[in-house]
Amino acid sequence: MNSRRKFLAGSAAGFLGTAMVSRVGAASLPEAPVRETAESAPPLAPNSGRPYNPVVTLNGWSLPWRMNNGWKEFHLVAEPVRRQIAPGMTANLWGYNGQSPGPTIECVEGDKVRIFVTNKLPEHTTIHWHGILLPNGMDGVGGLTQPHIAVGKTFVYEFEMKHSGTFMYHPHADEMVQMAMGMMGSLVVHPRDPAFNRVDRDFAFILAAYDIEPGAATPKVAEMTEFNLWTWNSRVFPGIDPLVVRRNDRVRVRIANLTMTNHPIHIHGHNFTVGCTDGGWVPKGARWPETSADIPVGAIRAIEFVADNPGDWAFHCHKSHHVMNAMGHNVPTMIGVDHRGVAERINRLIPDYMLMGERGMADMGEMEMPLPDNTLPMMTGAGPFGAMEMGGMFTLVKVREGLARNDYKDPGWYQHPPGTVAWEWTGAVPLAERVAPAKDSARVMKVRKPKPHSGH
């Protein structure tokens, strides 16, 4: 990690812009670490304060802190960032400490936290601590509970973590722009008792959506419905890291939704319960088994399961167009249309013209075709048996025997035991007898004109 010490040294007093300067002092600014790589960092074990089992932020990291007279101090810097969405595409976003989303803030129920926020954006900002119970003046709503944080200023937020759970932080200033540009981060408050609802592996990520035209790099911030990149922690498949777990580990996955629509997040090979929301822990007697959890807009769900089934298990949003990249919304359906003769004539004018879509779109998973710069294929990814034809909100939960306790390295593809993989039938195939449909002369066909597509 790099340090911002040089940026802050000698000019810290000029950045402090709140009445709290007299309470904490300009000289007491903690360092603001920065991380620019997109790999998942190892869990940050606490080196002071109360003990806890740290989380792994998917394709992200946790923010270091320092203890200062009983206060746990963090430093966030709001700033423009460059974020690799997946290999082959990088976006111009806004975030914190070098990344979008910003680093996860981890603390413990009962901690007194002091969070410095320095604004290096081209406009004012604030931070709202979503789900945290705190004094009204620390809630971060610009113009209502505090002045905006002007460009080049630093504000200080101080409060006690009164309850444990899964939360997030994001601006409450020019929200349409700042959240559309990627300003968000996870906030995890661990239980005071480390044994309470303990799990072996704990993951966190945020759902975000962007509309970035092919060849471009900056989101269209005024878009409300027609997004073309559906991300987990501002990454899309195949750029999302797998969740690597040991067999029989108890696993928690904390999922926050800051998109404009809901997301049914589905896991293969296991079932789970929802153990926590941004309102708190769900009593065990109120939980029920699921394989999909719908994550509402502006909400958080933490799912829990026992990873007792070895393999490489798909983990994804179950809206089919949310597991695709760089989508076009005005592509006509050509299934069943024989346009080979037309294609031959077009080829005389455009030699590189491709015929596609008349048998479906599966060929695009293996097709290598020219793309604009800084643009991802709509469907991509290669697995051990061929093209995976995925994108967007898709990754894998890799369950393995014999991993070390803190081993999160990708173990490679699962080696299936003999006789456990679906195979092609090569014997005789009987003809399928089909019954002709009964004629119904009284049936009346009603046709309605379709309405424009809007929303997801």
Residue 176 forms part of a structural domain: yes
Residue 415 forms part of a structural domain: no
Same structural domain, 187 and 295:
no
Same structural domain, 259 and 391:
yes
Same structural domain, 308 and 173:
no
What three-state secondary structure class fits 67? strand
d(CA 220, CA 309): 42
Average pLDDT over residues 79-85: 98
Instruction: Give the pLDDT score at 379.
Output: 87
Within 10 angstroms of residue 392's Cβ, the number of other Cβ atoms is 30
Average pLDDT over residues 219-239: 94
Same structural domain, 182 and 295:
no
437 pLDDT tier (thresholds 50, 70, 90): confident
CA 7 vs CA 1, 12, 42, 432: distances in Å: 15, 9, 27, 74
Between 14 and 206, where is the model more confident? Answer: 206
Q: Would the pLDDT of 20 be above 90?
A: no
Contacts of 416 (CB under 8 A, 6+ apart): 311
Average pLDDT over residues 312-339: 80
pLDDT digits (tens, 9 = 90+) for 27-78: 579 999 999 899 999 999 999 889 999 999 999 999 999 999 999 999 999 9
- Contact between 369 and 354 (Cβ < 8 Å): yes
Q: Which of residues 381, 400, 419 is at a domain's end?
A: 400
Instruction: Give the pLDDT score at 345.
Output: 78
Look up the pTM and report it: 0.85
Residue 226 forms part of a structural domain: no
Residue 23 forms part of a structural domain: yes
Instruction: Give the pLDDT score at 55.
Output: 98
Instruction: Give the pLDDT score at 34.
Output: 96
Instruction: Give the pLDDT score at 17.
Output: 36
d(CA 152, CA 120): 6
pLDDT digits (tens, 9 = 90+) for 389-426: 999 999 999 999 999 999 999 999 999 999 999 999 99
Q: Would the pLDDT of 328 be above 90?
A: no
pLDDT digits (tens, 9 = 90+) for 272-307: 999 999 999 999 999 999 999 999 999 999 999 999
Q: Which of residues 362, 379, 400 is at a domain's end?
A: 400
CATH number, domain of 26, equals 2.60.40.420
Instruction: Give the pLDDT score at 295.
Output: 98
Same structural domain, 160 and 28:
yes
**How high is the mean pLDDT of the chain?**
88
d(CA 154, CA 73): 14
Same structural domain, 248 and 188:
no
Torsion (CA) 26, 28, 34, 39 in degrees, nearest 10 = -140
Q: How many domains does the chain have?
A: 2
Residue 427 forms part of a structural domain: no
- Contact between 148 and 173 (Cβ < 8 Å): yes
Q: Would the pLDDT of 141 be above 90?
A: yes
Residue 228 forms part of a structural domain: no
Instruction: Give the pLDDT score at 4.
Output: 45
- Contact between 107 and 101 (Cβ < 8 Å): no
Q: Which of residues 377, 400, 423 is at a domain's end?
A: 400
Residue 439 forms part of a structural domain: no
pLDDT digits (tens, 9 = 90+) for 1-15: 444 443 333 333 333
Same structural domain, 173 and 258:
no
Instruction: Give the pLDDT score at 326.
Output: 78
Q: Would the pLDDT of 161 be above 50?
A: yes
Q: What is the largest CA-CA distance in the chain?
A: 88
Q: What does the DSSP 8-state code read for residue 272?
A: B
Q: Would the pLDDT of 18 be above 60?
A: no
Residue 409 forms part of a structural domain: no
Instruction: Give the pLDDT score at 335.
Output: 63
Same structural domain, 17 and 127:
yes
Q: Would the pLDDT of 147 be above 70?
A: yes
Instruction: Give the pLDDT score at 355.
Output: 61
Long-range CB contacts (< 8 A, 24+ apart) of 412-420?
Answer: 413/312, 413/383, 413/384, 414/310, 414/311, 414/312, 416/311
Same structural domain, 187 and 276:
no
Same structural domain, 138 and 264:
no
pLDDT digits (tens, 9 = 90+) for 355-395: 665 665 556 555 566 778 999 988 899 999 999 999 999 99
Average pLDDT over residues 177-183: 97
d(CA 179, CA 214): 21
Instruction: Give the pLDDT score at 101.
Output: 98
CA 161 vs CA 77, 204, 277, 424: distances in Å: 21, 19, 16, 57
Instruction: Give the pLDDT score at 169.
Output: 98
Q: Would the pLDDT of 19 be above 50?
A: no
CATH number, domain of 361, equals 2.60.40
Q: Which domain holds residue 125?
A: 5-192
Contacts of 339 (CB under 8 A, 6+ apart): 355, 358
Instruction: Give the pLDDT score at 364.
Output: 57
